[in-house]
Chain A
Amino acid sequence: MLLIRCPYCEMDRPELEFRYGGEAHVARPADPMATTDAEWAEFLYFRTNPRGLHAERWRHINGCGRFFNCLRDTVSDRIVTTYKAGTPRPNIDGSAS
C-alpha cells in the first residue's frame, strides 16, 4: 500500500484514503465547440502513458476531498512528489529508480 502525501493536509496518508484520477495537466478546451473532431478526440481519449515519471491526479477523497497532482514513476511505482492542483508540474527529470 502506497503512502501518499496530501499537499493540502500536509500529511503522509495510506493509499486507501485516496482515489486515482487519471493523467494531470490535461486541460479541458476553453471552448469545446470550437475544437475539431480530432482535437476533441485527442482531449477525450489520448494520454501519454509514459514509462517513467507520470504526472497524475489523485483525490484525497476519504480525507480533505481535494484534488491534487502527483509525480509517480510508472516503473518503480515510487511517488516522487505531490503538489496542489493548479500549480505547474515540478521540474524533476527522468526516472527516479
Chain B
Amino acid sequence: MSAAFRVSGGAGRALRFTFDGVAYEGRQGDTLAAALLANGVHLVNRSYKYHRPRGILTAGAEEPNALVAVTRGPGRMTPNLRATQIELFDGLEAKSQNNWPSLGFDAGAINDIAGKFLSAGFYYKTFMGPKATGTTLWTRLFEPIVRQAAGLGARTSAPDPDRYAQFYEHCDVLVCGAGPAGIAAALAASAGGKSVILCDEQTEIGGSLLHEATALIDGRPARDWLATARATLEGRAHVRILPRTQAFGYYAQNFVALSERVADHLAAAHPVRERLWQVRANEVVLATGAIERPLVFPGNDRPGVMLAEAARLYLNRHGVRAGARVVVVTAHDSAYRVALDCQAAGVTVAAIADLRSAPGGALVEAARAAGLRLIAGARIAGTKGRLRIARVGIAAGAGATEWMDCDCLLMSGGWTPSVHLHSQSRGKVVWHEDRQMFLPGPSVQAERSAGACNGAFGLAEALAQGDAAGAAAAGAKSPPASYAVTGDPPQSGGWLGRVATPDDASGKAFVDFQNDVKADDIELAVQEGMRSIEHVKRYTTTGMATDQGKLSNLNALAIAAEKLGKSIPQVGLTTFRQPYTPVSFGAFAGSNRGDLFDPVRQTPIHGWAAENGALFEDVGLWKRAWYFPKAGEDMHAAVRRECRQVRTSAGIFDASTLGKIEVVGPDAAKFMEKLYTNPWAKLEPGRCRYGLMLNEAGFVMDDGVIARLADDRFHVTTTTGGAPRVLHHMEDYLQTEFPDLRVWLTSTTEQWAVIAVQGPKARDIVAPLVAGFDIAHEAMPHMSIREGTVCGVPARVMRVSFTGELGYEINVPADYGRAVWEAVWAEGRRYDAVAYGTEAMHVMRAEKGYIIVGQETDGTVTPDDLGLNWAIGKAKKDFVGKRSLIRPDMVAEGRKQLVGLVTANPATVLEEGAQITTSATPAAGTTALGHVTSSYDSPALGRSIALALVADGRKRKGETLHVPMPGGAIAVTVVDPVFFDPRGDRLDV
C-alpha cells in the first residue's frame, strides 16, 4: 500500500510492517502511529466500555486510545503498548485490541447504544446493590457481559523469554526530560565536570526541537542547534545520555527510577529487553514538558480527531500529514502554528475555530495573513462520520451551526504542565488562577523544575530556565549561558471543561478517552453526592488505567468544580502516583526469577539424600529431606516404615538445619538466665537442658536443646526457621538492655552438620565411631554433651531425643558432614537402620507430645498453655517475659491449652487447622473452643492422633468434643498430649 499521506520521502529507509494482518510500509525513525497515519490509517482501536472506534490522539506517552499488541516472536507478545511510542522495525507485527470480530465491525459497539447501563458508578451500583438485585444482577447478568466486553489487551500466558537488567547509578545531577530545557540544563550542569545523567522517553533527545520548523536559536535552525548541543554532551565523558528511558518514579532522598527500553525497537534478538535504573542523584532537574489538553465537545473521540501539536510533530518530524482537509478547533495560540505548518505542507485548512471570542496576537495575525478562515467565539455542535470523522458542526458565536467537511480535526485546549515527578518528590503543586494551571510549588527534595513543566512554554524562556536550573544544580558560580531565540512568537490561551455548544449539539463528549468517561458522567457523580475529586475519580473511573488521566484530569476537575460551584483548588487534585507510564513486571523482577528468585539452602548431606531417593520439603529457604520412599511406596507407606524402624532399631536423620548459636563470655550464664525461662546458673558443663524462649509479652517464641560446654560457653540450638529471629532477639537485649554483660553471640548454624541417630540401636551404631569420651549410659546420661571425635573428626555429641527413643546428635564441622554421615550410615546398615525424613520426625515427636513452635504455637501461647511450666525457673528474679506471665489475662480461666485428641474411628485423621466445638451442629456464629494443631496417622499407636489447643483443655480430659467438617462433624475425645511412652522409659537405657 502506498503511503499517501507522506509529504516528503524522509531520510529513513523503507520498513515493512503489518497491522491487523494488513501489510504496510513505513520509514526508519517512524513510530507505529506515524507509519499508520502515513498510510491514512486513523482507526486503531475500540474503546474500553462502549467499543467506539478510536484513532490516534497524540504523539507521545500520554496516548489513551492507540493501544496495540506487538508480537516479537513466540512468548513475546506485549499488549497495551502505545502506538505513539512503538518504534517501527522491519517485520513488526501489531494488532488492535478490544474488538470482535474485527476493528471495522465490532459487536461490542452495542454498548454504545445501550450506554445507559454503563453510566458513572456502574460498578458500585451493580457490585454493592441489595442482594436481591445488585449481586444477583452482577453475577448473573453484568459480570459475564463485562468480562467479555471490557478491558484492554489480552496477556500472553507463556513465560516471558526475555531478560531484564537492573542498574544502580549515582550522579551529581539527573536531568529528566531532554527537550530544550533539559538539554540546556544538562549543558550547564556538566560544564564544570559534574557527572550528569540526561534521560528522555523518546528515541532521541531533543523533545519539541525535533519538530520545530520555524524557530531559530542563536540564529540557527533549532535542529542544527540541537545537533551541536548533542555533540557537546556526547563529547563529555561525565555525561550519560539515556534515550528511550522514562523517569517513572521519584522516591525519597532523590532516588529516581528509570525504565529503559533496550530492545523493543530491534528486529533482531538482544540479550536484554529492558533496564531498570535506580539512580541516586545529588540534584535533580525536572524538564518533563507539558501535555496538550483535549477539548470536551460532542463527538470529540472520533478517529481523525487529534491533538493539534501531535499533527505538527507527525508533519515536521516524520513527514506525515494527519489528513488532507483539516479543521482546527482551539482555545490556544499554539494551534495556529500547527495550522500554518499544515498549510505550508499542502494540507487544506478548512477553518480555525477558536473558542475565544477575540483571539489575537502574532500567530493569530499570521494565520489571518496567510488567508486562513478564522471563526471566533466558536461553539461545537458535534462530529459526524462512521469510522473516521467526515464533518464537524461549528457555530460562530450565536450563529447557526455550519457543518464542514474534513478528514481530520485538530484540537487544542492549551497545555498542562507535567508536574508528576515534582509531586511524587513530595513537592506541592500550586494552582495559578491567572494561568489556569497547576505549577510546581517549593521543592522538598534537592530538585528543581524548568521549562514547560514549570510553565515556561516559550522556547527562549525554556532554554533560560533550563540553563539556570542546570547551573544551580551543579553549584556553578559562572553566569549561565544566554540563548537568543527568534521565530517563536508568544502564545497564550487555554480552556478547561466543556466547550460551549449550540442548541442542536448532540453526541457523547468524552473527558477520559481510555476509560470512556463522559462529561455528564462526572456531573452525574457530583449529582449523586461525590464531593472530592478523589471520590469522583473512583466513582467514574476517570483518570485511571494505563494513562492515569494525563489528558483528562484537569478537564474532569474543571467539570466537577463547576457542577459543585467551587474553585478548582477547593475540589482538589488526585495524587500523582508512580509509575508515570506502565513498567514491565520483568523490569522490576530483573534477574530475581526462576532459580534466582530466592536462595536455596542445602545441608552438607543434601547430595546423599537426593542420591538415595529423598523427596524434599521447603522449610524457610532450606530444602529438607521429607521422606525416603522405596520402590512402590507412597508417602504414608514410607513414613510408616521409617517410624517403625526407628522405634524397633534405629534411624538416621539430617538435623543440620537446626539453628545454632554459640553464646560465649564470662557472663554467658547470666545472659542465658535472662533470655530463657529455664535456670542455667547451676547447669553443669557437659549437660543439656530444654530451653524455652519467650518474648517480653510472655508468649512462646522459640525452643531448643541448649548444652553447656564450659562455665563460659553454651551451644544453643533453635528451631530451623527461628534462628535469625532468635539471634536478632538476643542481640537486641544484649546491646540495648544488658550492655554490661560480657557476652558474644555467634551464629554457627552453617558451621555444624548435625546427624541425629535415634532408636534402641543408636548407641551400638555410634559407639564404634567415637573417640575421646565414654558413650555408655552411665557415663553419658540423657541430656548430656561430650566433645571428642567421630570418625576422627572433631565433634560435639549430644545425647538428646526428639523421637522418645535413645538418641544422639553428632555435630561435626560442615565440610565433614557427608563423610561422617556415610560412616554412620554404613554402621547403621548392620542394624537395618533407616534414613528418615522430616515427616517421620514430625509423627514421632507428636506421638511424644513434643511441640513444634509455630505449629502448636501462634504467638499467643504461654508456657502454661503448653503444659511447660516445668521449664520455668521459679526462683529466677527476672527473665524476658516473666512479668507478663502474671498479667491477669495470662492466668485467666478459659485459656486454650495443649491436649491430645483421639477420634472415635481410629482410621480418621483430623485436618490440621480444623475448629473444635462442643456441639456437633454448632449454630452459625458459635465461637470455636480451639483448633487442631497437629494430626497424623501414628504407626506406634496403630491409630490416628492429634494435638490441639482447646479452651480449658486440661479440665476436659475424657470429654467428647466435635470437629465440624463439610462432610459432617467428627467426634473426638480429649486425652493427654503424650501418647507414647508417657513415663519416658525408652530414654533411660
Does A92 have its Cβ within 8 Å of any Cβ on chain B? no
Residues of A within 8 A of B426 (CB): 76
A66 touches B735 (CB 8 A): yes
Residues of A within 8 A of B735 (CB): 66-67, 85
Chain A residue at smallest Cβ distance from B251: A1
A37 touches B882 (CB 8 A): no
CA distance A65 to B728 in the complex (A): 9
Main secondary structure of the interface of B (DSSP, over half): mixed
Residues of A within 8 A of B731 (CB): 59, 65, 67
Interface 9-residue window, one of B774-782, B883-891, B960-968: B883-891
A33 touches B887 (CB 8 A): no
Does B133 have its Cβ within 8 Å of any Cβ on chain A? no
Residues of B within 8 A of A78 (CB): 252
Residues of A within 8 A of B739 (CB): 85-86
Does B697 have its Cβ within 8 Å of any Cβ on chain A? yes
Chain B residue at smallest Cβ distance from A28: B737
* A8: min CB distance to chain B, Å: 11
Residues of B within 8 A of A66 (CB): 735
Chain B residue at smallest Cβ distance from A97: B444
Q: Select one of B252, B255, B728, B887 contacting A37, CB under 8 A.
A: B887
Does B732 have its Cβ within 8 Å of any Cβ on chain A? yes
* B578: min CB distance to chain A, Å: 13
A33 touches B883 (CB 8 A): yes
B882 touches A32 (CB 8 A): yes
Query: In the complex, how many residues of chain A place their beta carbon closer than 8 angstroms to a beta carbon of chain B?
Result: 27
Q: Select one of A41, A44, A59, A77 contacting B728, CB under 8 A.
A: A59
Does B736 have its Cβ within 8 Å of any Cβ on chain A? yes
Residues of A within 8 A of B477 (CB): none
Q: Tell me the chain A residues, 45-63 only, with Cβ under 8 Å from chain B.
A: 57, 59, 61
Does A90 have its Cβ within 8 Å of any Cβ on chain B? no
Does A2 have its Cβ within 8 Å of any Cβ on chain B? yes
A3 touches B280 (CB 8 A): yes
| A44/B444 contact (C-beta < 8 A), A33-B877, A67-B735 known | no
* A87: min CB distance to chain B, Å: 12
CA distance A77 to B877 in the complex (A): 41
A1 touches B728 (CB 8 A): no
Q: Tell me the chain B residues, 304-359 only, with Cβ under 8 Å from chain A.
A: none
* A62: min CB distance to chain B, Å: 11
B887 touches A3 (CB 8 A): no
Q: Tell me the chain B residues, 395-412 only, with Cβ under 8 Å from chain A.
A: none
| A41/B253 contact (C-beta < 8 A), A3-B280, A28-B737, A97-B444 known | no
* A70: min CB distance to chain B, Å: 14
CA distance A53 to B697 in the complex (A): 27
| A1/B736 contact (C-beta < 8 A), A32-B878, A33-B882, A97-B444 known | no
Q: Select one of A21, A31, A40, A86 contacting B884, CB under 8 A.
A: A40
A21 touches B253 (CB 8 A): no
Residues of B within 8 A of A44 (CB): 696-697, 884
A37 touches B888 (CB 8 A): yes
Interface centre among B253, B739, B888 (most CB of A within 10 A): B253
Residues of B within 8 A of A57 (CB): 736
Residues of A within 8 A of B255 (CB): 1, 3
Interface, chain B (partner A; CB < 8 A): 251-253, 255, 278, 280, 426, 444, 696-697, 728, 731-732, 735-737, 739, 877-878, 882-884, 887-888
The 7 sampled A-B contact pairs (Cβ below 8 Å) are A2-B253, A28-B737, A31-B877, A32-B878, A33-B878, A65-B731, A86-B739
